[in-house]
Amino acid sequence: MRIISRPRLRRFCTDHPDAKAEDLLDEWFHVVKHAKWENFANVRATYNSTDQVDHHTVFDAGGNKFRIITVINYVAGIVYIRKVLTHKEYDKGNWKKDEFGKRGWKLREKTPAASSAAARRKKRKS
């Protein structure tokens, strides 16, 4: 999976200098990066404490100390990190107002213009 954006994890570790946070979040990043999820069931097979809350996928990290709030585009293979929160911040529920990804994802179809542009580039290379 492609993960956008790792700096949110780093910023959280800087703001919460718990020595374990950085290690735990790095471990999460590396597992997700190498995952090939096609649906939420695949995510649950990797992380059984993960929840689907509306259009968000919420990961527990650090023995329930942290929450990683994501939106996953399974078609494109992209995990968007929306928030990284402490358990206390998560309980406030402000993260639920995030509308990103709520409408879902559609597979982009190639338009004739895009196909002909690709053909021209290929012809120039040969």
Domains annotated for the chain, with CATH where assigned, are 2-105 (3.30.2310.20)
Distances (CA, A) of 116 to 19, 110, 113, 120, 125: 53, 10, 5, 6, 14
Closest listed residue to residue 95, CA positions, set 85, 87, 108: 85
Which residue(s) pair with 2 in the sheet? 78
50/25: higher pLDDT: 50
88-98 confidence digits (pLDDT tens): 899 998 888 87
Residue 19 confidence class, pLDDT cut points 50, 70, 90: low
97-107 confidence digits (pLDDT tens): 877 766 665 54
Tokens of 104: 């879902």
How many angstroms separate the CA atoms of 126 and 123, rounded? 5
